[in-house]
């Protein structure tokens, strides 16, 4: 489709500027046509209006192609979330989005160690596991921090 559009554009520009105007005599050979065309080209004077019109058309065409390419580029790319391959980076990114304080993350990690859970995200995603961990481990936890965390989790859902 692009090749077809390019051909149409070049033919249109050629016809508008007079490059491709059909002016062959009926009994003329290719060599005679070439010589006559060459002579006409040499004898012709360049009009400033035609030259200016050509440059304006060329600039408009380049600008249009640039705008269309930029528009297509934006339409093709959707705003996708970043892929995170590190569990630590994922925890940091989620904690930024949920606006967790460092003390809350630390308490989640303590509970994960005691419950033998691999990631604090499990506690954030499953409040029942968090509740079970809080009930079973009353010694090393800070109730105030966990209450604030529970409020954040219930407010977000």
pLDDT digits (tens, 9 = 90+) for 64-90: 999 998 888 776 666 666 666 788 888
Phi-psi region of 9 (alpha: psi -120 to 50; beta: other; left: phi over 0): alpha
pLDDT digits (tens, 9 = 90+) for 24-62: 556 778 888 888 888 887 877 778 888 899 999 999 999
Position 18 scores a pLDDT of: 56
What does the alpha-carbon distance between residue 17 and residue 5 come to, in Å, rounded to a whole number?
18
Q: Is 107 exposed, middle or buried (0-12, 13-18, 19+ CB in 10 A)?
A: buried
**Helix pair angle (48-76, 2-17), 10° resolution:** 170
What does the alpha-carbon distance between residue 121 and residue 97 come to, in Å, rounded to a whole number?
13
Query: pTM of the full predicted structure?
Result: 0.42
């Amino acid at each position: 489709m692009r090749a077809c559009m390019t051909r149409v554009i070049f033919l249109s520009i050629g016809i508008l500027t007079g490059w491709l105007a059909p002016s062959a005599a009926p009994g003329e050979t290719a060599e005679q046509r070439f010589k006559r065309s060459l002579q006409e080209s040499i004898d012709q004077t360049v009009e400033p209006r035609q030259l200016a019109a050509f440059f304006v058309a060329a600039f408009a065409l380049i600008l249009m192609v640039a705008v269309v390419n930029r528009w297509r580029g934006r339409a093709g790319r959707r705003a996708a979330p970043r892929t995170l391959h590190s569990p630590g980076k994922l925890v940091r990114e989620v904690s930024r989005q949920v606006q967790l304080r460092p003390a809350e993350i630390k308490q989640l990690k303590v509970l994960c160690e005691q419950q033998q859970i691999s990631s604090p995200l499990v506690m954030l995603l499953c409040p029942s596991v968090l509740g079970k961990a809080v009930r079973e481990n009353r010694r090393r936890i800070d109730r105030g921090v966990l209450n604030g965390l529970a409020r954040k989790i219930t407010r977000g859902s």
